[in-house]
């Protein structure tokens, strides 16, 4: 609606200038009313309200002229849009038909010469041999893993045994230390008892 809208804006600007008013301000208001979704009656009432602020003469006539001009411009623009849409649809149909009429590509089976066939078979045989060798290598690796695992398990057993012996040795040493401490306490206790007995004996002799 660009071309039709420009024509209407030019006509409306001249119309408002003829009424001695600011066309820049009122043109925007009037066009906003015309582009709205309101009924014709509501648009007419709104236009008459704006025009009453501009002039007091022939308000219904000015209002009718604006509405008629807008109607003509809208019809012209809708017709052009419809024609463009129709052309677009025609172009789409033509494109589809053109694509359908194009021959579809077919897969061509290549024919090898005798020499090419021999080379191809030799390459396939070599590749198959390499694959078998890789499979053999893979089958050997689990045995290596088992041997390594056996060595690891043996080392782990040795370490565990050493730790166990170390703990038992520490336990024995701790027990010996406890027994020695107990013996020392018994000796000290016995010595104290002997001293007490000795003191009692000395006191008895003095009393005599």
Range of the domain at 66: 2-99
Alpha helix (H) ranges present in 55-113?
59-101
In the predicted structure, residue 91 carries a pLDDT above the cut 60: no
Mean pLDDT over each residue of the chain, to the nearest integer:
75
Alpha helix (H) ranges present in the chain?
2-18, 23-34, 40-54, 59-101, 114-207
* 128 occurs within a structural domain: no
**pLDDT tens by residue, 117-126:** 777 777 777 7
In the predicted structure, residue 44 carries a pLDDT above the cut 60: yes
Average confidence (pLDDT) over 76-97: 55
Query: Which pairs count as long-range contacts for 196-204, CB under 8 Å and 24+ apart, including other chains?
Result: none
Q: What is the pLDDT of residue 68?
A: 92
Q: What is the pLDDT of residue 95?
A: 54
Look up residue 106 and give its DSSP letter.
-
In the predicted structure, residue 103 carries a pLDDT above the cut 80: no
Cβ pair 19, 25 in contact under 8 A: no
CA dist 118 and 191 (Å) reads: 109
Compute the radius of gyration of the chain from its Cα atoms.
58
**When comparing pLDDT for 146 and 30, which is higher?**
30
* 12 occurs within a structural domain: yes
* 106 occurs within a structural domain: no
Chain mean position to CA 176? 69
Cβ pair 46, 38 in contact under 8 A: yes
* 46 occurs within a structural domain: yes
Q: How many domains does the chain have?
A: 1
pTM above 0.85, yes or no: no
Cβ pair 157, 149 in contact under 8 A: no
* 92 occurs within a structural domain: yes
Average confidence (pLDDT) over 87-108: 55
């Amino acid at each position: 609606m660009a071309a039709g809208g420009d024509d209407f804006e030019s006509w409306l600007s001249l119309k408002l200038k003829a009424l001695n008013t600011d066309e820049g301000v009122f043109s925007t208001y009037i066009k906003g009313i015309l582009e709205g979704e309101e009924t014709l009656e509501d648009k007419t009432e709104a236009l008459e309200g704006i025009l009453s602020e501009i002039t007091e003469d022939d308000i219904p006539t000015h209002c009718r002229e604006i509405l008629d001009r807008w109607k003509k411009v809208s019809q012209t623009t809708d017709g052009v849009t419809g024609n463009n849409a129709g052309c677009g649809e025609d172009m789409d149909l033509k494109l589809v038909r053109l694509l359908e009429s194009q021959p579809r590509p077919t897969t061509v089976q290549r024919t090898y010469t005798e020499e090419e066939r021999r080379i191809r078979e030799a390459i396939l045989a070599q590749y198959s041999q390499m694959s078998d060798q890789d499979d053999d290598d893979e089958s050997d690796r689990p045995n290596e893993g088992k041997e390594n695992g056996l060595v690891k398990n043996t080392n782990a057993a040795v370490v565990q045994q050493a730790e166990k012996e170390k703990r038992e040795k520490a336990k024995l040493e701790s027990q010996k230390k406890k027994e020695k401490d107990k013996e020392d306490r018994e000796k000290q206790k016995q010595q104290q008892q002997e001293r007490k007995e000795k003191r009692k004996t000395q006191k008895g002799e003095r009393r005599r």
